[in-house]
Amino acid sequence: MIEHKIIFAGPTGAGKTTAIGQVSERPPVSTDVINSDARYNKATTTVAIDFGEITLDAGEKLRLYGVPGQHRFSFVWDIAARGALGVILIADNSLPEPMKELQFYLDGFASFVKSGAAVVVVNRLETHPSPSQEDYVNMLIARGTPLPVCACDPRKKEDVLTVLDVLLTVC
């Protein structure tokens, strides 16, 4: 059986845990704890990894790893990224400067981003239409790392499956 490891990364509150929870066949392994950081309006936050599994129609098995968004947990990114096929970078368009925020994760997963083994996903585009999907595409071209950009609601299973499909196509 072919197995692939996929990483979900992006800012705190972007929807990484939600996305994995939507598609995982079994209840995901969760390392969410109570959040004490007033900058984020959320009750819990991931501090180690989320882990979910999904088997595709072709028999491929995907192991889905979500990593914490906060910069202080960047050491987890390197550990989780070992042996991964590709990375899904979720941008949160409700942030004041979502594209600027995304740069940190583009740099944090630079080897995947440079080799094209990554997809940029824009969440909350319906409620926060700017920057547009095209703005993201142009920003990625301008920085010399063109990547597919998808609009996605991580609460919708079909959306997340589509993104996984796009990532497997480019990897």
Partner 1 sequence: MHDDSMRLWRESPVFKAVCRAEMDELRNSTPSVQAGIIATADGFDVADVCVNDTYSPARLSAMASSMMALAGAVAREVEYPNCESLIVESSGGKTIMMSLPGTDGRLVLLVIADNSASFGMLLMHARQCAHRIQKRLNLTTDGAAES
> Encoding tokens for residue 138?
């142009």
Q: What 3-state DSSP class applies to 57? A: coil
Our finding on whether 40 is near partner 1 (CB under 8 A) is: yes
What is the tally of helices (H) and strands (E) in the chain?
6, 8
**DSSP 8-state assignment for residue 28:** P
Q: Which stretch binds partner 1 (CB under 8 A): 58-66, 68-76, 83-91, 163-171?
A: 68-76
Q: Phi and psi at residue 168, in whole multiples of 5°?
A: -65, -30
Q: Mask of contacts with partner 1, 15-34, x by CB under 8 A?
A: --------------xxxxxx
Closer CB to partner 1, 80 or 113, in the complex: 80
CA–CA distance, 10 with 32 (Å, rounded to integer): 16
Our finding on whether 100 is near partner 1 (CB under 8 A) is: no
Closer CB to partner 1, 36 or 169, in the complex: 36
Minimum distance from residue 77 beta carbon to partner 1 (Å): 11
Minimum distance from residue 122 beta carbon to partner 1 (Å): 23
Number of Cβ within a 10 Å radius of residue 114: 12
Our finding on whether 72 is near partner 1 (CB under 8 A) is: yes
Our finding on whether 90 is near partner 1 (CB under 8 A) is: no
CA–CA distance, 152 with 91 (Å, rounded to integer): 10
Contact indicator for 79, 22 with CB cutoff of 8 Å? no
Query: Which residues make up the interface to partner 1 (CB under 8 A)?
Result: 29-38, 40-43, 45, 47-49, 68, 70, 72-73, 75-76
